[in-house]
Amino acid sequence: MADRLEIPQQVVVPTTVAFIIGFSSGATTSSKLSNYQFMVENLHRLPNSNKNWYFFQKTKNYKIILAGLKGGLKLGTNLACFTTSFCVLKDLFCHIPTIDNHKTLAGGLSGLNIAIGVSLIYRLRPILSPSRLLLGGLIGSCSGLADDAKTYLKQEMYSDSSASNMEINPMELKKPIALTNVLYKSNDAIFDESE
């Protein structure tokens, strides 16, 4: 039962990173806007004494911090929700038998679906929708392509290590085994042609 409730790492890491990026971006933007708004609203009644100036700055800083936290949480939560839904959709599309082991296609489809959802939620103009759909599909395909490349390199590394009947050394995992084999094969081909 506990195994079924565990959230996979492919969902947790991107969601956390998306929340951190969204929080920092939202906090920065909202705090700047709050600063400008506070200054515009209180420009006609600037303080006259040091004591009033202290309270003016203190109130301004509190409002900026509060607005930054609210804006950061809002944007971070939105971005984390969209990232989680993208990862879950990609995982669901990977379980379809015709798309199995083709994460590029699964990523493209999930990116396209997320772009459609964002266009509907934020009510984007129809002129902007095709570019957003294309962008969502391309970014999703790139994400899936990176997963496919990682899977291919892992399979290549394990097939090379099992063919030589050697144990896998942890230091060998950091070396690009697949690339060195390609280089050796190309050098052999060059020497074969010259002979």
CB-CB contact of 85 with 117 (8 Å): yes
Q: Where are the alpha helices (DSSP H) in the chain?
A: 2-5, 9-41, 50-94, 103-121, 129-163, 177-194
* pLDDT > 90 fraction of the chain, expressed in percent and rounded: 28
Phi–psi pair at 11, nearest 5 degrees:
-105, -40
Q: How far is CA 177 from CA 145, 162, 165, 187, in A?
A: 20, 13, 15, 16
Q: Which residues contact 109 (CB under 8 A, 6 or more apart)?
A: 89, 93, 99, 137, 140
- Position 32 scores a pLDDT of 96
| Residue 160 structure tokens | 């090379």
Share of the chain above pLDDT 70, in %: 76
Contacts of 86 (CB under 8 A, 6+ apart): 14, 110, 111, 114, 140
CA 49 to chain centre: 49
- Quick: pLDDT tens for 58-67: 999 999 999 9
Residues 6+ apart with CB under 8 A from 117: 82, 85
Q: Considering the entire predicted model, what is its pTM?
A: 0.70
Label residue 80 by pLDDT band (50, 70, 90).
very high
pLDDT at 189: 47
Kindly give, in sequence order, each residue whose CB lies less than 8 Å from that of residue 172, ignoring residues fewer than 6 positions away: 161
Locate the domains of the chain by residue range: 2-147
What local confidence, expressed as pLDDT, does residue 103 receive? 81
**What is the rounded distance in angstroms from the CA atom of residue 79 to the CA atom of residue 143?**
16
